[in-house]
Amino acid sequence: MKKIICLIAGLFLGTANAGIIAIDHNILLPISGTENIDLDMDGTFDIGMAERFTGGDKSWVTLDSVPQSTQMVAGFVPEGALIDNSLTWLTSGFQDPVMSIGNNYLGIFDTSLGAFFGYATITYNGTDMTLATYTYDDSGEGLVVGSTSVPETGTLALFGLALAGVALTKRKKIN
């Protein structure tokens, strides 16, 4: 019985720190000027962004207007790409990558809270550009663009209770 209680307690305690964190921003990017943005909500501006600063379907992304705790990948990365230390990271400067209609992903390496890999999702509808979300892995591991599903603690606890029930049932049959 003690083993079962320890198993259930382990399930609850082991899932308290999920790993993948997605922060909704939904910030409409300004047409001119640069808006400094705190991606991870730690009180430090991580990146500067603007819409159509250079015209048409281009965004403006800069690291020069913020403290040097953030690095970014040159250009956008496709969904399914692995964001990790194997990429080439820009530590300063700006870029104005061409936007595609829909979601565009900018690889981010942020050291303001730790050393976390992540990506900013910038949506473009043909007219407006919006910083939709910032997603990162707080374990420091690499992150696949588009992977935001983390098992719910309740689901894992339910699974643990089911296993405990099976173990108790087998134990009663043996006796």
Task: Flag whether the pTM goes above 0.75.
Answer: no
Q: Are residues 114 and 145 in the same domain?
A: yes
Tokens 């040097």 correspond to 68
Amino acid 98 reads V
Q: Are residues 59 and 129 in the same domain?
A: yes
- Quote the CA–CA distance of 32 and 91 in Å, as a whole number: 23
- Res 93: pLDDT: 82
Q: Is 127 helix (H, G, I), strand (E, B) or coil?
A: coil
- Listed in sequence order, the residues at least 6 apart from 168 whose beta carbon sits closer than 8 Å to its beta carbon are 4
Q: Are residues 9 and 40 in the same domain?
A: no
Edge-to-edge order in the sheet of strand 129-137: 20-28, 129-137, 116-124, 102-110, 70-73, 89-90
Residue 115 has pLDDT above 80, yes or no: yes
Q: Are residues 83 and 162 in the same domain?
A: no
Residue 7 has pLDDT above 50, yes or no: no
- Res 151: pLDDT: 46
| Residue-range definition of the domain harbouring residue 60 | 19-149
Taking only the tens place, the pLDDT of each residue in 143-156 is 999 865 544 445 55
The two three-digit tokens of residue 153, written as one number: 């603690």
